[in-house]
A and B are shown apart, each in its own frame.
Chain A
Amino acid sequence: MYIYPVWVRIWHLVNALLIIALVVTGLSLQYSGSDFILMPFKSSVTIHNTSGLLLCASFIYYLLANHFTSNGQYYHFKSKGMIGRALKQARYYSYGVFKKEEPPFPVKVGRKFNPLQKLSYLFVMYLLMPAVIITGIAMLFPDLLPDRIFGILGIHFIDLIHIITGFCLSVFLVVHIYICTLGNTPSSNFKSMINGWH
């Protein structure tokens, strides 16, 4: 079935590339001066800032597209029994998949995401992404930040939120890529995100 429209696939690809660039340059900045160098400091700053601003634009596009197209409905869920459904999917990933069980919530028209995906994507796209984008933009204007927040240096507080959310997004990226190999074949989900057909 055709489930991923062109705009979703382009946005997803752009989002993925920007986040990879941000993770690589973010790590270079965080560990600058140590033996762990992925990229020179100066280039890392330029690429990180540029990618961050592009990610912000991409995120605004994603919010607007979700609002004005039917893609947003995939994120809606009934709270009643959601935890149970998510645990059922988690059980499948950690046990059922080895027993060759059928996925409890297979992809179909009107249900692109399983309950665990819904929860994690909601958490990532509507909590972590805004947090990392807002704190990232804030750090571009250090002069405007309050001197102290909760007793610590304002910019350092903002930076802590930025690197913690950035780290969580990096972990999500790794888990997300691995979970995608749990399709019908290890590569089927990746192909779907290229041609749109599941």
Chain B
Amino acid sequence: MKKLLIIGLLFLLSMLLYAQEISTEVIEHSAENSKCFSCHGSSTYSYYNEVLERYVTKRMNPYFIIDSMVYYDQNHRSFDCIDCHSYDFRTFPHDNTLRMEPMPSCLDCHEGDDATADFNFEIINDEFHESVHSTKHSEDFTCWMCHNPHSYKIVARNSENIKETIVYDNNICLSCHADINKYQLISLNEKPNIIDKHDWLPNQFQHFAHVRCIECHTHTSDNTLVAHHIQEKEKAVKKCVECHSSSSTLLASLYKFQAQENRRKYGFFNAAILSEAYMIGANRNLYLNILSFIIFGGVILTIIVHIILRIVLK
């Protein structure tokens, strides 16, 4: 009985410590940012209007609403709002000139940063500046256009579910290419209709659901996990066999992380694709391939021997 009591107490203590560990992280950010979220976390905000001498409630600009649940689940969740935004934002009403503040770029923090060296931010930056997003648009096209600082989180490296990565990454592209309002932030051109533009693609829905836009629209690199060199549409992959083959380009893009892991573990070239997706031409099973050659070779050899014996013993 005494033993059971001790075990029970230890269990409770460990649960408390675990709970404290989780809650500590949340409280740490909430305390600093809660004032911002009290207005920017919902669709309305209230303040005391000294002219009217009463509290008034106003609607928040939907583009300035930050979902705190999403915020605390993303890459920069440990940040205080004023780590990136001006300290003066702590004062309400905000000074109008504050909206002119220049926003930091990724390299302002990540350049030469040992903690994020694996991501090769410098190479990503170079790739981006070679991409059509940079060369065909003004400086208004920054990293933030795709990687929303309030919600972006790494999926390709962390998720074992390729489909989740595909949906997440494609939604980044669609946030502009399927939304005329955001698209026209950087372009006066008519937004192309993605469905019509991909009319030539067989099984369009299957392709959209199982590969990312960047698989065909970027120039892959050995140095980065996710290629950022978005190319002109004329250079997009159009040949089926570039993906539908055992040396599929997808092994250098969508399945790069899994392929590296699987090759390290099993030495099996296309195991990543085998376990996560089906792709004609790229799903060739190494062992079945060898076995089929042995069987077929054996049959042909037997027939040849049979023919020779028929001729010799005629």
Q: Which residues of A contact B278 (CB under 8 A)?
A: 142, 153, 155-156, 159
Residue of B nearest to A28 (CB): B281
- A99: chain B residues at CB < 8 Å are 313
Q: Are B274 and A42 in contact (CB under 8 A)?
A: no
Which residue in B281, B295, B303 is a CB contact (below 8 Å) of A41?
B281
Q: Cβ of B292 and Cβ of A33 under 8 Å apart? A: no
B288 touches A45 (CB 8 A): no
Specify which chain B residues have a CB less than 8 angstroms from the CB of A178 in the assembled complex. Answer: 303, 306
B276 partner, pick from A42, A153, A159, beta carbons under 8 A: A153
CA A186 – CA B29 in complex, angstroms?
86
* Cβ contacts A94-131/B at 8 Å (1 or 0 each): 10011100000000000000000000000000000000
**At the interface, is chain A mostly helix, strand, loop or mixed?**
helix
Q: A153-B275, A178-B303 are in contact. Are A41 and B240 (CB under 8 A)?
A: yes
Task: Mark contacts of B280-303 with chain A using CB atoms, 8 A cut-off: 1 yes-contact digit, 0 otherwise.
Answer: 111111001000100110011001
The 0/1 profile, CB within 8 Å of A marked 1, for residues 225-257 of chain B is 000000000000001111011111000000000
Task: Tell whether, in the assembled complex, residue A42 and residue B240 are in contact, meaning their CB atoms are under 8 Å apart.
Answer: yes
Verify B288–A171 contact, CB threshold 8 A.
Answer: no
User: Does the CB pair B281–A33 fall under 8 Å?
Assistant: yes
- Chain A: interface size category: 20 to 34
Q: A164-B288, A171-B296, A174-B299 are in contact. Are A153 and B277 (CB under 8 A)?
A: yes
Contact of B115 with A by CB under 8 A:
no
In the complex, chain A residues whose CB is within 8 Å of the CB of B242: 33
Q: Are A97 and B300 CB-contacts (below 8 A) given A30-B284, A152-B275, A153-B277? A: no
Shortest beta-carbon distance from B4 to chain A in Å: 39
Complex contacts, A174 vs chain B, CB 8 Å: 296, 299-300, 303
Contact (Cβ within 8 A) B274 A156: yes
> B303 to A163, Cβ gap below 8 A?
no
Name the CB-closest residue of B to A37: B241
What chain A residues lie within 8 Å of B138 (beta carbons)?
none
Residues of chain B with a CB closer than 8 A to A64's CB: none
Chain A 40-55, CB within 8 Å of chain B: the 1/0 string? 0110010000000000
A137 contacts B by Cβ under 8 Å: no
Rounded to whole angstroms, the CA-CA distance of A116 and B293 in the bound complex is 25
* B94 part of interface (Cβ distance < 8 Å): no
Residues of B at under 8 Å CB distance from A? 202, 205-206, 239-242, 244-248, 274-278, 280-285, 288, 292, 295-296, 299-300, 303, 306, 309-310, 313
A-B contacts, 29 of them at CB < 8 A, read: A29-B280, A29-B281, A30-B280, A32-B240, A32-B244, A32-B281, A33-B241, A33-B242, A33-B246, A33-B248, A41-B239, A41-B240, A41-B241, A42-B240, A45-B202, A45-B240, A94-B306, A142-B206, A143-B205, A156-B274, A159-B278, A159-B283, A160-B288, A170-B296, A171-B296, A174-B299, A174-B303, A175-B303, A178-B303
Q: List the 4 closest A-B pairs by CB distance, nearest first.
A: A33-B245, A32-B281, A33-B241, A155-B278
